[in-house]
Protein backbone atom coordinates (compact mmCIF):
# COMPACT_ATOMS: atom_id res chain seq x y z
CA UNK A 1 0.00 0.00 0.00
CA UNK A 2 1.26 3.48 -0.87
CA UNK A 3 2.38 5.99 1.71
CA UNK A 4 0.79 9.42 1.97
CA UNK A 5 3.52 12.04 2.41
CA UNK A 6 2.93 15.60 3.64
CA UNK A 7 5.44 18.38 2.97
CA UNK A 8 5.43 22.11 3.68
CA UNK A 9 6.90 24.80 5.88
CA UNK A 10 7.31 24.28 9.60
CA UNK A 11 4.09 25.14 11.33
CA UNK A 12 1.84 24.75 8.27
CA UNK A 13 -0.18 21.97 9.90
CA UNK A 14 1.38 18.78 8.54
CA UNK A 15 1.17 16.89 11.83
CA UNK A 16 -2.36 18.02 12.65
CA UNK A 17 -3.68 17.36 9.14
CA UNK A 18 -1.68 14.13 8.92
CA UNK A 19 -3.16 12.70 12.10
CA UNK A 20 -6.67 13.52 10.89
CA UNK A 21 -6.04 12.03 7.44
CA UNK A 22 -4.54 8.89 9.00
CA UNK A 23 -7.62 8.50 11.17
CA UNK A 24 -9.96 8.92 8.17
CA UNK A 25 -7.99 6.38 6.13
CA UNK A 26 -7.29 3.89 8.93
CA UNK A 27 -3.53 4.26 8.44
CA UNK A 28 -0.68 4.72 10.91
CA UNK A 29 0.71 8.24 11.33
CA UNK A 30 4.43 9.05 11.56
CA UNK A 31 6.03 12.47 12.04
CA UNK A 32 9.65 12.36 10.84
CA UNK A 33 10.78 14.84 13.49
CA UNK A 34 9.13 12.81 16.26
CA UNK A 35 10.71 9.62 14.91
CA UNK A 36 14.15 11.26 14.85
CA UNK A 37 13.71 12.52 18.42
CA UNK A 38 12.62 9.07 19.62
CA UNK A 39 15.55 7.32 17.94
CA UNK A 40 18.11 9.89 19.12
CA UNK A 41 16.71 10.32 22.62
CA UNK A 42 17.06 14.09 22.15
CA UNK A 43 14.91 16.96 20.96
CA UNK A 44 15.38 18.56 17.54
CA UNK A 45 16.93 21.72 19.09
CA UNK A 46 19.35 19.52 21.08
CA UNK A 47 20.29 17.64 17.91
CA UNK A 48 20.89 20.89 16.03
CA UNK A 49 23.10 22.11 18.88
CA UNK A 50 25.07 18.86 19.09
CA UNK A 51 25.28 17.84 15.42
CA UNK A 52 24.43 20.94 13.42
CA UNK A 53 22.01 21.02 10.54
CA UNK A 54 24.05 18.53 8.50
CA UNK A 55 23.96 15.94 11.28
CA UNK A 56 20.23 16.41 11.63
CA UNK A 57 19.70 16.11 7.84
CA UNK A 58 21.68 12.84 7.84
CA UNK A 59 19.31 11.46 10.48
CA UNK A 60 16.36 12.71 8.42
CA UNK A 61 17.70 10.83 5.38
CA UNK A 62 18.01 7.60 7.37
CA UNK A 63 14.45 7.93 8.68
CA UNK A 64 13.12 8.74 5.19
CA UNK A 65 14.72 5.65 3.70
CA UNK A 66 13.37 3.45 6.50
CA UNK A 67 9.83 4.83 6.19
CA UNK A 68 9.91 4.47 2.40
CA UNK A 69 10.40 0.72 2.85
CA UNK A 70 7.15 0.56 4.82
CA UNK A 71 3.69 1.01 3.36
CA UNK A 72 0.34 2.37 4.40
CA UNK A 73 1.69 5.27 6.42
CA UNK A 74 0.74 8.92 6.61
CA UNK A 75 4.10 10.67 6.95
CA UNK A 76 4.47 14.30 8.06
CA UNK A 77 7.91 15.46 6.94
CA UNK A 78 10.00 18.08 8.66
CA UNK A 79 9.85 21.37 6.76
CA UNK A 80 13.40 21.07 5.44
CA UNK A 81 13.32 17.39 4.48
CA UNK A 82 12.50 18.08 0.80
CA UNK A 83 15.63 20.23 0.51
CA UNK A 84 17.60 16.99 0.61
CA UNK A 85 16.70 15.37 -2.72
CA UNK A 86 17.73 11.88 -1.60
CA UNK A 87 15.35 11.99 1.36
CA UNK A 88 12.26 13.22 -0.47
CA UNK A 89 12.98 11.05 -3.53
CA UNK A 90 12.94 7.94 -1.34
CA UNK A 91 9.60 8.93 0.14
CA UNK A 92 8.06 10.01 -3.17
CA UNK A 93 8.95 6.61 -4.66
CA UNK A 94 6.86 5.04 -1.88
CA UNK A 95 3.67 7.03 -2.31
CA UNK A 96 1.82 10.26 -3.00
CA UNK A 97 3.20 13.66 -1.93
CA UNK A 98 0.92 16.49 -0.78
CA UNK A 99 2.25 20.02 -0.21
CA UNK A 100 0.34 22.01 2.41
CA UNK A 101 0.91 25.46 0.95
CA UNK A 102 -0.19 27.88 3.61
CA UNK A 103 0.67 31.59 3.43
CA UNK A 104 4.10 31.87 5.15
CA UNK A 105 3.36 35.22 6.81
CA UNK A 106 0.24 33.66 8.38
CA UNK A 107 2.26 30.68 9.60
CA UNK A 108 4.86 32.94 11.16
CA UNK A 109 2.24 35.12 12.84
CA UNK A 110 0.22 32.21 14.27
CA UNK A 111 2.82 29.59 15.21
CA UNK A 112 5.39 29.87 17.98
CA UNK A 113 8.89 29.70 16.52
CA UNK A 114 10.54 29.70 19.95
CA UNK A 115 11.47 25.99 19.97
CA UNK A 116 12.12 25.56 16.25
CA UNK A 117 15.83 25.75 15.37
CA UNK A 118 15.22 27.23 11.92
CA UNK A 119 12.36 29.40 13.15
CA UNK A 120 14.82 31.80 14.73
CA UNK A 121 15.97 34.94 12.97
CA UNK A 122 12.70 36.79 12.62
CA UNK A 123 9.91 37.02 10.13
CA UNK A 124 12.00 38.16 7.16
CA UNK A 125 14.37 35.19 7.56
CA UNK A 126 11.37 32.86 7.73
CA UNK A 127 9.85 34.39 4.58
CA UNK A 128 13.19 34.10 2.77
CA UNK A 129 13.42 30.43 3.75
CA UNK A 130 9.94 29.94 2.25
CA UNK A 131 11.00 31.67 -0.98
CA UNK A 132 13.97 29.30 -1.21
CA UNK A 133 11.89 26.20 -0.49
CA UNK A 134 8.78 26.99 -2.54
CA UNK A 135 10.19 25.69 -5.87
CA UNK A 136 11.47 22.59 -4.09
CA UNK A 137 8.07 21.84 -2.57
CA UNK A 138 6.41 22.47 -5.93
CA UNK A 139 8.83 20.11 -7.69
CA UNK A 140 8.14 17.16 -5.41
CA UNK A 141 4.39 17.61 -4.81
CA UNK A 142 1.90 15.40 -6.60
CA UNK A 143 -0.86 17.61 -5.18
CA UNK A 144 -0.86 21.11 -3.72
CA UNK A 145 -3.37 21.86 -0.97
CA UNK A 146 -3.62 25.66 -1.03
CA UNK A 147 -4.20 27.92 1.95
CA UNK A 148 -6.30 25.56 4.04
CA UNK A 149 -7.81 27.08 7.14
CA UNK A 150 -9.53 24.07 8.66
CA UNK A 151 -7.37 21.04 9.33
CA UNK A 152 -10.35 18.67 9.05
CA UNK A 153 -11.24 20.09 5.63
CA UNK A 154 -7.67 19.71 4.36
CA UNK A 155 -7.47 16.17 5.77
CA UNK A 156 -10.73 15.24 4.03
CA UNK A 157 -9.51 16.56 0.67
CA UNK A 158 -6.18 14.78 1.04
CA UNK A 159 -7.81 11.49 2.07
CA UNK A 160 -10.14 11.60 -0.96
CA UNK A 161 -7.27 12.35 -3.38
CA UNK A 162 -5.12 9.64 -1.83
CA UNK A 163 -7.89 7.05 -2.15
CA UNK A 164 -8.40 8.03 -5.79
CA UNK A 165 -4.64 7.68 -6.45
CA UNK A 166 -4.55 4.25 -4.82
CA UNK A 167 -7.43 3.04 -7.00
CA UNK A 168 -5.83 4.29 -10.23
**55 labelled as ligand-binding?**
no
**16 labelled as ligand-binding?**
yes
d(CA 22, CA 50): 33
**24 labelled as ligand-binding?**
no
pLDDT for 155 beyond 90: yes
Q: What is the mean pLDDT of residues 84-108?
A: 93
Q: What is the CATH number of domain 3-167?
A: 3.40.50.300
* Mean model confidence pLDDT for the chain: 91
Which residues does 21 contact at the CB level (< 8 Å), separation at least 6?
4, 6, 27, 74, 155, 158, 159, 162
Specify which residues 5 forms β-bridges with: 75, 97
**Residues 4, 162: contact at Cβ < 8 Å?**
yes
Percent with pLDDT over 70 in the chain: 93
Mind listing the pLDDT tens digit for each residue in 138-154? 999 999 999 766 899 99
**8 labelled as ligand-binding?**
no
**14 labelled as ligand-binding?**
yes
Angle, vertex CA 102, rays to CA 22 and CA 73, nearest 5:
20
Angle, vertex CA 31, rays to CA 25 and CA 34, nearest 5:
145
**57 labelled as ligand-binding?**
yes
**79 labelled as ligand-binding?**
yes
d(CA 146, CA 54): 30
Q: What is the mean pLDDT of residues 122-129?
A: 85
pLDDT for 73 beyond 80: yes
Question: Out of 4-13, 15-24, 68-77, 141-150, which region has the weakest mean confidence (pLDDT)?
Answer: 141-150
d(CA 153, CA 168): 23
Domain residues of the chain, as ranges? 3-167
Burial of 48 (0-12, 13-18, 19+ CB in 10 A): middle
pLDDT for 114 beyond 90: no
Mind listing the pLDDT tens digit for each residue in 20-35? 999 999 999 999 999 9
Angle, vertex CA 117, rays to CA 151 and CA 111, nearest 5:
30
Strands of the sheet with 3-7, listed across from one edge: 28-31, 73-76, 3-7, 95-101, 143-146
* pTM score, whole prediction: 0.92
Amino acid sequence: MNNLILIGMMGCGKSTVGRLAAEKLGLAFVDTDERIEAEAGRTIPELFDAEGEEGFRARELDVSRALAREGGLVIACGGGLPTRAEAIAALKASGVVFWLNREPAVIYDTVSMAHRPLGQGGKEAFLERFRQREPIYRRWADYIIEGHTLAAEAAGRIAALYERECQA
